[in-house]
Structure 1
């Protein structure tokens, strides 16, 4: 017989204690509790504890079986998630495809990735922005190199775009707000588009985070794009990446990350710190926010007569939880 280790003995004692605590006392019944809410909570608590005990016993049994089989043990089961059960999309992009490489060399953003053009971004807001939106724009300008903040008052976007083109701006970013909270972003590539409209959520400023980092430096950050696999996702990823210069200055140790998960784009801005040869720490410089694509429009911003490449149709596209667009 194999001698049991100290860790296994502790687990057994813990399981026995929890099982003893879960079992009903001989003279006690939940039905004796007169308060209905209290009785329901007590019943659910005992039911949950029993379930946890069964799960622990099942895990322990499987572990003993695997140790007994040794090398003949079957491989561990991969848990099912929405991501690994994703419905295949016909527009999934192969990075080594010649057609994709040709499109990347001839699209609107090729000049940025070839080093021929450096981005110049104008950040503006809706009419009469509140304090939180103003602070968010100011912090966003410290994250994006060569970004300028302009607060418009009643000036239409159609009048702003020609002025931006005349001043050699390559992007126009509009931050919308609702009830004093930033809730939307319009990202217009100049001079010929495209224009993307995002819903914005989970906006947190740098001062609101528990770990306050120092301000970002003026070094050009590295840009990381994750999980932009379809044609549409590929276009959106290049649109977002072209906001930053494509010649990162590694001395600054700054990283801008756009992570796509279930068609939600999470933005984070970090600085990595080398603790030793094997360990690296990260320091969040902020701000952080989440984007959800609403529409992609050809050309510059035109809400009435614009031609749309893609529009989110919630009731049609969200019918299957395992099908994603990006």
Structure 2
């Protein structure tokens, strides 16, 4: 009876290698120079309770190891400071941005061909201030109440912009009308299900035409503690438009705004490109005295507020809205043409094969 039991338990069977078999419900993976402890992978453990215990233990060990390395790094930096030596270089965390795939189209500051292209492209006349930008803004044929509300805030953000009701006119006729009236660009806001979802920017008179997907729209009334913009010419900030395509899109956006900002108005319009998403923000600078700010916060609770002899001026940002995100879908030569238009760049699903591949 006992012998049969031992045979059923497998005592007489040949032992298997730890690198391939299981023991205690734990599957182990053998790697060169790894100990038995390092071979345990929580995802390979079948028992849920055991898997949770192993995962929690490895997580604690990883946290302790990270804390130990941070303490060693701080001690080394303090020691180098006391000895008058240079501290050890700081480790740069790996992000999707700094590990992006190499791109041959990234612009260089000493690129003579790029400078020659800038002097002869469609936006050079406006950017050299030989022509004042004049923008026409309209909607699609069937728009909702949220579309004009968004356009009203665009008019306050973009100087010298004018709104014209679309009606039943075709877009090609609107382009011809805008050319005759000496407009430099045409912006069409498309809405779907009572929500703006796309934006078309057409450079006049010779193009190009950029089609953007619009998302994450937040109007001014929905922004907490928002401010109201003034009529001063805003400063324009463009970030991370590094490739040839991004440089061209950035110049197109830049041509929508006058090139003579009025810094007294403290208005700033920002287009920040991150992972091919262009984030739009509209802010105002506010300068405040730190002592006055502390006094206004305390109010009647503490009447004995000590004012410093040298008040410190601090600067903060107040968002004016709107807030939205753009994603480039296509860039077309010339003005809007759905049939015979030639595309400079067109986004296709097969382009999204890697998370670290960016085009702007």
In the superposition, the TM-score normalised over structure 1's length comes to 0.80
Provide the residue aligned with 1:9 in structure 2: none
List runs of 5+ in structure 2 lacking aligned partners.
Answer: 1-50, 290-311
Q: Judging changes above 3 Å, is the alpha-carbon distance between structure 1 residues 286 and 41 closer, same or farther for their aligned structure 2 residues? A: farther
Aligned equivalents of 2:220, 2:257: Cα separation in 1 = 20
Instruction: Look up the match of 1:321.
Output: 355
Post-superposition Cα deviations, 1:218-275, rounded to whole Å, max 9, x if no partner, equal 2111111111111111100000011001111122111111111111111111111233
Alignment partner, residue 137 of structure 1 = 151
| C-alpha spacing 1:64/1:251, structure 2 compared with 1 (3 Å) | closer
* Residue 118 (1) aligns with residue 132 (2): yes
What secondary structure, in the 3-state scheme, does the structure 2 residue paired with 1:158 have?
Answer: helix
Gaps (5+ residues) in structure 1? 1-39
Decide which moves more: 42-51 or 184-193.
Answer: 42-51
Map of 1:233 onto structure 2: 246
The aligned counterpart of 2:204 is 190
Greater CA deviation, 105-114 or 95-104? Answer: 95-104
* Equivalent residue in structure 1 for 2:237, among 209, 212, 224: 224
RMSD: 2.7
Range with bigger deviation, 229-238 or 56-65: 56-65
2:70 pairs with one of 59, 79, 94: 59
Report the alpha carbon displacement of residue 45 of structure 1 after superposing the two structures with TM: 8.9
2:116 is matched with: 102
- Aligned runs of 1:155-194 on 2, under 5 Å? 155-194=169-208
Q: C-alpha distance in 1, partners of 2:318/2:128?
A: 30
Establish whether residue 77 from structure 1 lines up as the match of residue 112 from structure 2: no
Could you say if the C-alpha distance between residues 52 and 157 of structure 1 is closer, same or farther in structure 2, counting changes exceeding 3 Å?
Answer: same
Corresponding position of 1:275: 288
Map of 1:285 onto structure 2: 320
Offset at 1:171? 0.9
Change in 2 beyond 3 A, CA 1:72/1:242 = closer
CA distance in 2, matches of 1:169, 1:42: 68
- Greater Cα shift, 128-137 or 96-105: 96-105
1:246 maps to which residue? 259
Q: 1:12 — aligned with what?
A: none
Give distance in 2, aligned partners of 1:94 and 1:106: 18
Displacement of 1:88: 2.1
Could you give the per-residue CA deviations for residues 133-172 of structure 1, whole angstroms, max 9, x where no partner exists? 1100111011111111123133210111111111111111
2:335 aligned residue: 300
Deviation at 1:322, TM superposition (A): 1.5
Q: Between Structure 1 and Structure 2, how many residues are aligned?
A: 288
The CA deviation at 1:48 is 6.8
Rate the CA distance shift 1:65–1:265 in 2: closer, same or farther, 3 A.
same
Shift of 1:114: 1.2
